[in-house]
Amino acid sequence: MAVPKRRKSHSKTRLGRANKALTKPRFIHCSNCGAATQPHRVCEACGYFQGRVVVSQEEAP
């Protein structure tokens, strides 16, 4: 098994953790109804995606 030859310094450890922070989810506005939705996903309010109906209102939970 591979074993580190040297101990990682505090600065190298912290530099490695610098990109692990949580980020807020991004939202866009639906082109059909204007509701806030996540990009590349079907609108939960109206069922539209890229200008066409993907999920009808009867199927929506």
Residue 54 lies in a domain: yes
Residue 39 lies in a domain: yes
Residue 18 lies in a domain: no
Residue 34 lies in a domain: yes
Residue 6 lies in a domain: no
Residue ranges making up the domain that contains 29: 23-61
The yes-or-no verdict on residue 60 having pLDDT over 90 is no
Q: Which residues contact 48 (CB under 8 A, 6 or more apart)?
A: 30, 31, 32, 33, 42, 54
Q: Tokens 């204007």: give the residue.
A: 34
- Taking only the tens place, the pLDDT of each residue in 14-41 is 999 999 999 999 999 998 899 999 999 9
Residue 5 lies in a domain: no
Residue 32 lies in a domain: yes
Residue 10 lies in a domain: no
What total number of domains does the chain contain? Answer: 1
Contact 45, 35 (CB under 8 A): yes
Rg (CA), the chain: 22
Quote the strand ranges of the chain, DSSP E.
28-29, 36-37, 48-49, 52-53
pTM here is 0.56
pLDDT of res. 59: 57
Confidence of residue 1 (pLDDT cuts 50, 70, 90): confident
- Taking only the tens place, the pLDDT of each residue in 36-59 is 999 999 998 888 998 888 888 765
